[in-house]
Amino acid sequence: MLTRRIARPEAEERIEARATPAECRELAALFELPAVHSVEAALVARPLPKGALGLEGRVAARLGRLCVVTDEPFDQDFAEPVSRRYLPGLAEDEEDEVEVGALDEDGPEPLPPDGVELLELVREALALGLDPHPRAPDADIAALEYDPEADEEPAGPFAALAGLRERDA
- Which pLDDT tens digit goes with each residue over 23-73? 999 999 999 999 999 999 999 999 999 889 999 999 999 999 999 888 889
First-to-last C-alpha distance (Å) of the chain:
72
Rounded CA-CA distance 55/44 in Å is: 6
Q: Indicate the number of domains in the chain.
A: 1
Rounded CA-CA distance 115/158 in Å is: 59
Supply the mean pLDDT for the chain.
83
Q: Are 84 and 135 in contact (CB under 8 A)?
A: no
Domain that holds residue 67: 5-168
